[in-house]
């Protein structure tokens, strides 16, 4: 891999400032590919269990993203509660599965983004915000009107609808999708995500269309573009190599990838013996070597000691 860089890895239900299109979206929710169709305004809960207001578990200067995102002062990470996947090995299960966090109004989100910028964040990093896309649009627009200048990062699992992504065009500067699976079996078994690869790759192509190749400022910080993550799972090195093949065949050679070794068998991973262990050095190195063999140009990698719970935020 050329230029390897290591990284660690009873209230009124009207949701604040929103227009008719926003309300219609929540009345029959189809924000993600599951298209549950539930009426979130009436209190109904779909697969992700998100409500009518954005729910935030933590907002912090996060220092364990890729170096081009964390920089010297940290990425302004906003961790949203709930998720449209059910990853058995999720390191953030306390918020994605259990929903820890507090509800906020749209104007509170705007203030939060501006506060992170004032603290010195290099960017606003929206982590697992998929269930709250309609709330993000007005919050980001208002924040930009009020002086938000740093890049906005959309940090997601790639199980996205094209309609939701298109609503973010012009508001998101950097897309950071985690392309998790290429085979439907593991996607269903470990994340309850049917048709994951076809959905995720269509989403990534839309992200590429919107923001293009990752670009940097003079200090090496990301300013705009696409950065694809892939977490190599135990026993899945060959599948990871096929993910790289898809990237080479469908995206520009200069596309940036982050090949992660930080898998830890937490949460419900013990239910699946084949992934109830850490990645081996041989497995991970085989994927990095294939990256080079394919002639891909730009990427980030990790040391195996990144596979620890030490870098998981305290929710």
Cβ pair 111, 148 in contact under 8 A:
no
Phi, psi angle pair for 224, to nearest 5°: -165, 145
Helices (H) and strands (E) in the chain, counts: 10, 10
Would you give the DSSP letter of residue 158? Answer: S
Residues in the annotated binding site: 83, 87, 90
Cβ pair 85, 131 in contact under 8 A:
no
Cβ pair 29, 38 in contact under 8 A:
yes
HEC per residue, 234-284: CCCHHHHHHHHHHHHHHCCCCCEEEEECCCCCCCCHHHCHHHCCCCCHHHH
CA distances from 242 to 129, 146, 226 (A): 28, 44, 19
| Residue 56: closest CA among 13, 101, 117 | 101
Residues in the annotated binding site for [4Fe-4S] cluster: 83, 87, 90
Length of the chain: 315
């Amino acid at each position: 891999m050329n230029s390897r860089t290591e990284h660690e890895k009873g209230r009124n239900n009207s949701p604040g400032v929103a227009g008719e299109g926003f309300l219609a979206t929540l009345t029959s929710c189809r924000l993600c590919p599951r298209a549950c169709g539930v009426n979130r305004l009436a209190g109904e809960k779909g697969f992700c269990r998100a409500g009518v207001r954005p729910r935030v578990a933590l907002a912090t200067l996060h220092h364990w993203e890729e170096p081009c995102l964390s920089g010297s002062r940290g990425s302004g990470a906003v961790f949203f509660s709930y998720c449209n996947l059910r990853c058995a090995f999720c390191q953030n299960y306390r918020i994605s599965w259990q929903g820890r966090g507090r509800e906020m109004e749209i104007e509170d989100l705007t203030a939060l983004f501006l506060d992170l910028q004032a603290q010195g964040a290099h960017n606003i990093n929206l982590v697992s915000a998929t269930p709250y896309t309609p709330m993000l649009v007005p919050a980001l627009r208002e924040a930009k009107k009020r002086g938000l200048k740093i890049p906005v990062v959309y940090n997601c699992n790639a199980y996205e609808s094209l309609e939701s992504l298109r609503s973010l065009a012009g508001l998101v500067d950097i897309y950071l999708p985690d392309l998790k699976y290429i085979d439907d079996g593991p996607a269903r078994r470990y994340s309850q995500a049917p048709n994951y690869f076809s959905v995720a790759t269509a989403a990534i192509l839309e992200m590429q269309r919107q923001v293009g190749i990752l670009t940097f400022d003079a200090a090496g910080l990301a300013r705009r573009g696409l950065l694809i993550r892939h977490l190599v799972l135990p026993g899945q090195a060959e599948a990871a190599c096929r993910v790289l093949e898809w990237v080479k065949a469908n995206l520009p050679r200069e596309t940036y990838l982050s090949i992660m070794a930080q898998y830890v068998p937490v949460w419900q991973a013990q239910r699946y013996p084949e992934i109830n262990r850490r990645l081996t050095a041989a497995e991970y190195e085989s994927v990095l070597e294939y990256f080079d063999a394919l002639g891909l140009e730009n990427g980030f990698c990790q040391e195996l000691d990144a596979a620890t719970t030490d870098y998981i935020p305290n929710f």
